[in-house]
């Protein structure tokens, strides 16, 4: 049988290759005799098949990872070996992609790999924070508690993100509906009225002239409008892909009315909770700060955390490194300072993250309360203007006879 493997050599570097052996166990023995620390091992034929089917695999969602983490915590806490627990969970999963990943992880664990090392082979499912927390729990012997903590944190983040998405989806749906109604009026209703206006020879009011121009443009030059929209979308994605463009957009997002404050508090909450969890798990301070920088997609928050990491490297405490960072409120610096001075930083960070979670929920309620009347006014104004432009000529014709 032919196998493909990934292993770490004596210098600490990863290397991949192929070997021939009568069985999986014999392949493992051969690699160990060569002084290699096995990370993954699978039959070459299966590897090629899995590579060809990658494009058709089902996506692994955050809910799948939360379910897996909860199940693993229960089984490990009950004394079930990790490899056996992984095998059992893989058989119960409805997502075939995650089941296949867990099977590979199980094989690596059975081959002598640590769970954290095996998880690190699949960074799209298990990020650096997840892997580092598992690694810390392996060193301290607190894996069940850590798995419960990871699952709890992921569930809280998922709930908060869903609430934020819900607050953003409502105005988006209302906007799309408004645009749809306007297009229907301008492309179907308005063209049926224009011949009547022209045949009567009545003076056309200015609002009606504007709508006639818009209606004619949409019905006669729709392809140019679609081309223009496609061009704008292309320009947007190009700008977003550039470092300067993403920086400018992220800066703009943080300063949006209502939503900017909400997204800012969400970013602070996620990074602070990650920092609290990693520090409480025994992850080194610098590594914990770097992991906190990676949980947000906003460039400016990442830069701030990276600057904090550099200052902590020089010997400063976190509250000192926070000085001058306008993205973080002064109260956060004061609370962290008290936590560092009393040696209860982890507890203070947990309280901070809980506080910002509550602030995010308050912001979501405020946003949804404010958006509804604003959207009604905007939709009413747009549709009302179109309706007025159709009715004014009719009033003019009725009063002229």
pLDDT of residue 400: 56
Which among 364, 280, 275, 382 is positioned nearest to 319, based on CA atoms? 275
- Ordered by start, the domain boundaries in the chain are 1-56
Q: How buried is 375 (Cβ within 10 angstroms: 0-12 exposed, 13-18 middle, 19+ buried)?
A: middle
Supply the pLDDT for residue 203: 67
Instruction: Say which DSSP state 189 is in.
Output: I
Contact predicate 102/67, CB 8 Å: no
Which tokens go with 306? 């990276």
Distance, CA of 328 to chain centre: 21
Whole-angstrom distance, CA of residue 139 vs CA of residue 328: 33
Phi, psi (degrees; rounded to nearest 5) at 7: -145, 160
pTM above 0.85, yes or no: no
CA proximity to 366, closest of 176, 172, 163:
163
Nearest Cα residue to 112 out of 45, 43, 17, 29: 29
pLDDT computed for residue 233 by the predictor:
93
| pLDDT by 10s per residue, the chain, length 401 | 567 777 777 666 667 777 767 667 777 777 777 777 777 777 654 444 444 344 345 688 888 899 999 999 899 888 889 989 998 998 888 888 888 899 999 988 888 888 988 888 888 888 888 888 888 888 777 888 888 888 887 887 788 778 777 777 877 888 888 888 888 888 888 788 777 766 666 567 788 888 888 888 888 888 998 999 999 999 999 998 888 998 999 999 988 887 888 888 888 888 888 888 888 878 888 888 888 887 788 889 989 998 999 999 998 999 999 988 888 988 888 999 999 898 888 889 888 888 888 888 888 888 778 877 888 888 888 888 888 888 877 777 666 55
Which tokens in the block code for residue 269? 């909450």
Strand order in the sheet with 14-20: 14-20, 2-8, 37-43
Tell which phi-psi region holds residue 79, choosing left (phi > 0), alpha (psi between -120 and 50) or beta: left
């Amino acid at each position: 049988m032919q196998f493909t493997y990934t292993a770490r050599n004596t210098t600490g570097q990863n290397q991949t290759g192929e070997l021939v052996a009568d069985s999986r166990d014999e392949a493992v023995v051969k690699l160990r005799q060569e002084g290699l620390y096995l990370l993954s091992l699978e039959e070459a034929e299966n590897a090629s098949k899995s590579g060809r089917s990658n494009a058709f695999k089902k996506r692994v969602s955050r809910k799948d990872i939360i379910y897996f983490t909860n199940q693993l915590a229960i089984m490990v806490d009950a004394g079930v070996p990790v490899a056996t627990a992984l095998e059992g969970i893989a058989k119960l999963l409805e997502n075939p992609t995650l089941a296949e990943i867990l099977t590979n992880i199980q094989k690596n664990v059975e081959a002598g790999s640590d769970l954290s090392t095996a998880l690190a082979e699949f960074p799209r499912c298990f990020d650096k924070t997840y892997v580092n927390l598992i690694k810390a729990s392996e060193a301290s012997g607190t894996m069940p508690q850590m798995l419960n903590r990871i699952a709890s944190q992921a569930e809280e983040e998922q709930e908060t993100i869903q609430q934020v998405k819900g607050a953003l989806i409502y105005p988006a749906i209302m906007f799309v509906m408004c645009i749809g109604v306007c297009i229907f009026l301008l492309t179907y209703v308005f063209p049926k009225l224009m011949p009547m206006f022209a045949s009567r020879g009545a003076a056309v009011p200015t609002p009606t002239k504007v709508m006639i121009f818009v209606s004619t443009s949409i019905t006669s030059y729709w392809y140019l409008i679609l081309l223009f929209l496609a061009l704008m979308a292309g320009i947007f994605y190009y700008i977003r892909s550039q470092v300067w463009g993403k920086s400018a957009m992220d800066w703009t997002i943080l300063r949006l009315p209502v939503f900017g404050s909400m997204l800012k508090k969400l970013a602070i909450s996620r990074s602070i909770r990650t920092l609290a969890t990693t520090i409480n798990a025994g992850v080194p301070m610098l590594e914990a700060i770097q992991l906190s920088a990676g949980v947000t997609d906003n460039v400016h928050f990442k830069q701030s955390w990276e600057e904090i990491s550099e200052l902590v490297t020089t010997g400063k405490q976190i509250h000192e490194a926070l000085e001058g960072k306008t993205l973080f409120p002064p109260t956060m610096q004061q609370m962290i300072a008290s936590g560092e001075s009393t040696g209860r930083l982890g507890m203070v960070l947990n309280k901070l993250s809980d506080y910002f979670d509550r602030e995010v929920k308050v912001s979501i309620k405020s946003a949804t309360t404010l958006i509804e009347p604003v959207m009604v006014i905007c939709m009413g104004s747009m549709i009302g203007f179109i309706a007025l432009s159709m009715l004014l000529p009719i009033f003019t014709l009725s009063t002229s006879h």
